Every structure is written in structure tokens, then in C-alpha cells.
Structure 1
Amino acid sequence: MVVAYVGLGANLGDALQTLRGAARALAGLPGVTAAAGSSVYRTAPVDAGGPDFLNAVVRLECTHDARTLFGQLREIEQRYGRERPYRNAPRTLDLDLLLWGDAVIAEPDLSVPHPRMHQRAFVLVPLSELDAAVRIPGHGTLSSLLAAVAAQDVERTADSLY
């Protein structure tokens, strides 16, 4: 079994309901034996325009491989109407495979750890709720990375995923 972390984000439509629905879909995936979710956070878009994002992180225990989970994430995004008209476009749902155990994966369409997660408070803050001791391969401890993004504005909402 491998522990995977998935980042969830949305800034179009009913973003909170979308995140909650996606979290339930992730927990019910074949090959997922357990799931836990962070709180929901509001952040301004990074390198993009549009409304604020709602973001969260889910911890999954998986019995299959990273490629299978990656495909399942894309299917869930499609169910929620995800379109990719241009880089960093506003979106109904974004699911990013952040970590796959302590693996480093470098394939044309799949990079783990997620290539920019260590620079983004909207990923690191909810991740710290689920496992404050996690290490990001190639980047270090979560606590040192959180200190580096402390100036980024991340607002915890009163909402939870489950």
C-alpha cells in the first residue's frame, strides 16, 4: 500500500460542492482503501486571473500504481467539466497528484512530487493538516517549506471536505 496526496482546487461554479463531490469520488475509487481530507482554503489565483480558488488536500491509501491513480484523477476532472483551454485557466476542478509515497516520477505527463507544490502555500498548508512530518522528495521537510511561503495569503474557511 502507498500513501498518496492529491491537491484539489476549483474557482468556477459551486467550488465547495465540487471539492466535496471530488473528495467523495476519490475516497470511493477502486484501489483506495482509506481517505482523509484537509480543511478548505481560499486563495487568490496564482499566475492567472479569475475568481478566488478553494483548495484542499486529500490523503489516500492506494493498492494500485501512480499511473492508475493519475488516470482516475483525470476521469473525475472530466466528470466535473474540466477544460484546459490555456495554461492556468479558471477551472471547475483541478486534481493534482502531489506525492506518491517517497517516489520521484519524471514522465512526460506525470511528475511527482508535483513540480511546483513546494512553492505554494495553498498546497503546503492543507497538506500540513494531514501530515506535518511529510518530506517532499528533493525539497526537504514540510516545516522548512512552509516557512518559505509564509508571506502567501491563505485563508482557512469554516468548511471541511467530508
Structure 2
Amino acid sequence: MTETPNPHIVDADTITGEMRPIRRAVLALGSNLGERLTSLQGAVDALKDTPDVFVTAISPVYETEPIQATDDSGLYLNAVVLIDTTLSAPRLLDRALAIEDAFDRERTDVRNAPRTLDVDLIVVGDRRSDTDELRLPHPRAHERAFVLQPWYDVEPDAVFPGGDAIADLLEKTDRSVVTRRDDLELELQ
């Protein structure tokens, strides 16, 4: 069983003694190629096995239509994972990209191309970033039902950076594009 750290304390690096705050992060997972559920479960397992990352919640799985995608795009499976971490946002992004690579994610110039695995950082504490490499909070998450609905399922009182409640943002989206798949489940093993 994973022990959840108190998010109000600061963790000290055991080698350097450097103090690092524990932050809550929200990660969105998606897959529309290959063994979709296996890829999502693999991402959860890889996050769980990451030092300084504590998985605290996993949403139900949703199936969604691809958005602004190529004609060969299949349906996505999506989920949200909540974590507590002492990793910096750039290091957490590096880990997310490494997890995608481990599941043979191919990056192309085609926007919204089909993918075996997508691991997006939605929110990392109160961190803000607007670089080519890292945008926090995720610039389109607040308008995507496939992120907001699973997030709401695991944290119904969550507030998106900027002050909008996730519940209120979800009300503004088209929830007909997301279907909860109660026959599929991700596990924290």
C-alpha cells in the first residue's frame, strides 16, 4: 500500500539535504492505439514506481472520440491520476515523456495523431509555466470533458488554477463525448 505524505510538509532530500515541497499534481492519461487499457495501466504502474511520486487516486476509465484528429484515429481510453510529489515540474515532465517512450509513443508533426500513450501534466501544485517544453496549467484542460470528468470523479471539490471549480468547468463542456467504461478498471497494484 502506498503511503500518502502530508501535502503541507516539506521533504528533505536524503543526499543533499535540500528541502523540497510536496505538491499535488494531476496527470491525464490517454491511448487510442494498440492495447489501450494495458498502456494506461502501464503508465499508472510506472508512476507508482517513480521515486518521489505517490499515487493517491486513479479515476474511472472513459472512452472518448478523438478531437481534431486524423481520419485513422480510433476511440481513446482516458483516465486521470492524482499524485503527490516532490519532483519539480520539469523533472515530472521528463518522467511522463519517458513513460510514453516506454510504450512506443511515436511523435510526428501531425497534430493529434493516434498514439499508444499520452501522459499530460495538467496541474503541478501552483506552478505556472509557458515555455515550448512545458505549459502549466495545461492550456486546454479546462475545456476538455475527457480530462475534467475523470478528475471530477476523484476530486469533486477541485479548483482549476485561476479559481474555477472543476465542477463548473465540466458543466460548460460537451459531456456526451465521454462514456464511462465501468467494465474497465485501472488498479493501484
Same fold, TM-score > 0.5, yes or no: yes
Residue of 78, 91, 100 corresponding to 2:115: 91
The gaps in structure 1 that reach 5 residues or longer are none
Once residues 156 and 2 of structure 1 are traced to their aligned partners in structure 2, the CA distance between those partners, rounded to angstroms, is 28
**What SS does structure 2 have at the residue aligned with 1:126?**
helix
Residue 75 of structure 1 is matched in structure 2 by 98
Map residues 9-158 of structure 1 onto 2, 5 A cutoff.
9-49=30-70, 50-85=73-108, 86-138=110-162, 140-158=164-182
Deviating above 3 A after TM superposition, structure 1's stretches of 4 or more consecutive aligned residues are none
Taking structure 1 as the reference length, the TM-score comes to: 0.95
Change (3 A) 1:11 1:139: farther
Once residues 54 and 139 of structure 2 are traced to their aligned partners in structure 1, the CA distance between those partners, rounded to angstroms, is 26
Q: Determine which structure has more spread, i.e. the larger CA radius of gyration.
A: 2
Higher fraction of strand? 1
Larger relative contact order (Cα-Cα within 8 Å, sequence gap ≥ 6) = 1
**What SS does structure 1 have at the residue aligned with 2:157?**
coil
1:62-118 Cα distance to aligned partner (Å, 9 max, x none):
012111100000000000000111210000000000011122222221011111001
Taking structure 2 as the reference length, the TM-score comes to: 0.82
Change (3 A) 1:151 1:35: closer
CA contact (8 A) 2:47 2:55 kept: no
Residue 18 of structure 2 is matched in structure 1 by none
Q: Give the root-mean-square deviation of aligned CA atoms.
A: 1.2
1:138: Cα distance to partner? 2.8
